[in-house]
Structure 1
Amino acid sequence: MKTKIGLIFSVLFFQVCFAQNETRKPLHGQVVNDSLTLESGYVLNINSQTRTFINANGLFDILAKPKDTLLFSSLAFQSKKIVLTEKNCQERLFLVQMDLVNNELKEVVVSNGLKVNSLGGGSQRFVDKKFFDDEKSSPKNRLMPADGTIENGMDFVRIFKDFKKILRKKEEVKEDFISDVAFSEYVKINFSPSFFSKDLSLKEDEVELFLLYCSNDAASKKYLKPEDRFMLMDFLITKNKEFKRIATFGK
């Protein structure tokens, strides 16, 4: 009996020690860009399900530990995902370089047959430039269905390949980063802005962070064919419920 109690005590002791070693510590960081100063945005820790704000001069503080995955998002800048290393967590000021949104990516969207038309009152809707007809009707431009999706959504594989060419012009870029960017763009061009603002109740500056959060889930790559857009919508709604539960620390 004493032996069992001693064994249990030893196991609990090592578990406590291990937990202490795994405790997250404050990570002081700054998001920077060569051209502009970041003054707002979010940093999200996927592992701890917490997020914080990027404040003036791009500064942020968040609890983290090695191997945690951090997501960075700010309007006008390309979202970024980083898996922390021991070295990152030991730095007095962890610097994160973020690039401006690549306009060439938008050109890929347009050249593949999608056009965005601005309407009165600040609202927007997407119009597919392709025309369809049948035996009895003349060609007509079909507008976005009421569910918020774009009819005959674009080919994700084609977008991925085009983005890959663009993002790898200057330097070597990882496949998962290209996949994250392609997923975000694919969703944005297949769903109207009102879907994010009204159906998902997301703020404008939360959309990129939310999409990067979704792309981190391997299941996000299962619904990227035009015929799967309703399943993709269901996936986004489910992920939004998770996203809303993430604890946010104020400024």
Structure 2
Amino acid sequence: MNNNYFLLLFLFCQMVFCQNKDRKEIHGIIRVDSAFVEGVNVVNENTQKATSSDLSGNFVLLLKEGDVLVFSAVNLVTLRKKIVLADLESSVLKIQLQTESIPLKEVVVKEETRITAENLGIISKPAKKYTVAERRLYTARSGLLDRPLNWISGRTARLKKELAVSEKEQLMAKMEYLFEEHFYTETLKIQKDYVRDFQLFCIEDNDFVTSLKEKNKTLSKFYILSLAKDYNKITAYEN
């Protein structure tokens, strides 16, 4: 048994020696673009010998013509290279690897998705949206000299009136969006010629205005039904 064991060991050593005696120690260097790459696995498929590149991208392996090297690493495209005579004659085996691109899934932006400065974290939430009239009034009230001069000239008072008109126009627009004309005439029993006047009557009610600003249609409808009853009583009395 011992003789057989030593015989097998001798044959294995001879096979390894014969396999490597015609191989040459080759120094290689690995780059990605212009940078050296550390930790790239280098495997000789013919001998199953393996190594990896160091911090400067260097590696050393015993090679001969016809050997196939496999270079692989995370986020890099795997490369298989067959060694030719020119590689053995070169002082350094230069290997250029490519970064592996990761395909992204299709991104669908829904129409209702709103990308705003608040959503992106550029400004804090909630961010108040100022109308033109509000911006003008703010400008008139800011500054050490602007405020007293605008107050003396009456510009601030005029801008306040413009702001009030602007706010009412916005509320009226919201009412027109929420309720169609036939709702006023058929459901609320408001005469067609009085619809505009009734809308102005409604936006004087604080509770109704709050529901409009909060875009609560159910609550707005509840208040407007009550306001319609009061308005119809007033118009009936006046007529």
Q: Name the structure, 1 or 2, with higher relative contact order (CA <8 Å, separation 6+).
A: 1
Q: Is TM-score (shorter-chain normalized) higher than 0.5?
A: no
TM-score bucket (shorter structure): 0.3 to 0.5
Whichever of the two has the greater Rg, that structure is: 2
